[in-house]
Every structure is written in structure tokens, then in C-alpha cells.
Amino acid sequence: MRVTSRRPRLSALRTRTAVLAAGLGASTVLGAGAAFAAETGVQAAPAAASTSSTSSAVAAQAKAQAAKAAAVTAKPVAAPKALSASGWSKPVSQYVVSATYGKGGAMWASNHSGQDFAVPTGTPVKSVGPGTVVKAGPNGAGDGPAYGNAVVVKHDNDTYSQYAHLSRVDVKIGQQVKGGQQIALSGNTGNSSGPHLHFEIRTTPNYGSAINPVTHLRSEGITI
């Protein structure tokens, strides 16, 4: 009787399985890192750090964002009772600032293009000023999937406000809105590190024209 050894075939199978598992692990880590770079709408530069350090940074940011959103519920801040003299408002009444305009670091391929407000999913999002809705819907309302559901409002002073990662959009293109009017609910859609509102002030309705939102809102009598 002829006996054939199965050891070589088993060894080859184990080798192929190990290689496949390693490839899937690397894809998962690299995909998560790319998601954070995409939040600003720009292509990530070639990674210099190891995949393990990128994975740790992504996990840390997601944990911090969720913790800050939970803190809003645990320790609510009194909401303002009136608009500014020019009819402008904060985009959310209660929040914790989780990322600022121009911030650099491992979470973005370039400096952050807006202001992030950590809030629980479902928090009412308000138009910061009177204007007309020019973009509304999924895919970043045309700015790309990284922003998730989004809204862009054109204001009379030739600026535009953008609201991203929304769980629900409550307005339509062409609709007139007032400062302080609810236009959406916050969420965690798109390339988001946790429940929050990504907010921008722009000089055009499109990505790439963001200016410092804190400075602009201050000129309208709003401090964030």
C-alpha cells in the first residue's frame, strides 16, 4: 500500500492563510487612517508613520470625540436666549469644541478646514445666519462622501456656512432660512471620528474656500 504524506500541502495552505490574513489587517488599518484624512476633502499624503501608529491615532480620536459628545449630555450648558443684533446664532446650543480651524496633526492630511462641535447624534443644528439653502443632501451635498449628509447656506454678506456629518437634513435647496432656525440634526455620517457637527464658513459654496469660522462669527456678534 502506498502512503502519501499530507504535510507539505498543509504547510502551504497555512502559509497562504497567514499571508491573506496579514493583507486584510493592513487594509483595515490603512482604510481607517485614510478616512480621517478625507474628512477635510483632500487626498492624504503618503503615510510616513507605521500602520500601527495610524490605527492608534484613529482609535484615540474616535474615543475622545465620543467622550466629548457624551459630556454634553451629562453637563448641559445653558442655551442662549436671543440672536445677535445682526440675526446670527451658534450652529448648536450645547457642545464641546473637539477640533478647531487650522488644526494640524495625524487626523488630517492638511490643516483642519472647520470647527468641530462634539454633540450627541440627533442634536438640532441651526443656520448661523439668515440666508438661502444652496446645497443639501448626501455625498457632502456635492462636496464628496467624506462629509456625509451636509447642508450649505448662502448668506447676504457673500459668505456660505456648511454643516456636515448630519443624521438628517430638514431643508431643501432654494429654501429661505433665518438665523437660529433648525436645518438638520447632527450625526456621524461620512468619514466621522464620532458624533459631532463639522462646521465651516466659506467664501464660495464649494470645498476649498474655508475661512476661520470663529473670526467670522465674532464679527457677527457670536462667540464660540
Residue 206 near residue 143, CB atoms below 8 Å: yes
In a domain, 66, yes or no: yes
Q: Is residue 37 part of a domain?
A: no
- Rounded to two decimals, the pTM is 0.66
Residue 12 within any structural domain of the chain:
no
Is 79 inside any structural domain?
yes
Residue 80 within any structural domain of the chain: yes
Q: What is the pLDDT of residues 133-149, one digit of tens each?
A: 999 999 999 999 999 99
Model confidence at 211, pLDDT cuts 50, 70, 90, reads very high
> Going along the chain, which residue ranges are E strands?
96-99, 115-118, 124-126, 131-137, 149-155, 160-166, 168-169, 176-177, 182-185, 196-202, 210-211
Q: What is the pLDDT of residue 86?
A: 83
Residue 82 lies in a domain: yes
Which residue segment(s) compose the domain that 73 sits in?
Answer: 51-219
Residue 137, domain member (yes or no):
yes
CATH number assigned to the domain comprising residue 62: 2.70.70.10
Residue 55: strand, helix, or coil: helix
When divided into structural domains, the chain yields a total of 1
Q: How far is CA 204 from the centre of its chain?
A: 19
Does some domain include residue 44?
Answer: no
- For 71-120, the pLDDT digits (tens) are 665 555 444 445 888 899 999 999 999 888 877 555 544 676 899 999 99
pLDDT tens per residue, range 160-206: 999 999 999 999 999 999 999 999 999 999 999 899 999 999 999 99
Q: What is the pLDDT of residues 21-68, one digit of tens each?
A: 444 343 333 333 333 333 444 333 444 444 555 556 555 666 666 666
Q: What is the largest CA-CA distance in the chain?
A: 98
| Closest C-alpha among 171, 196, 168 to residue 181 | 171
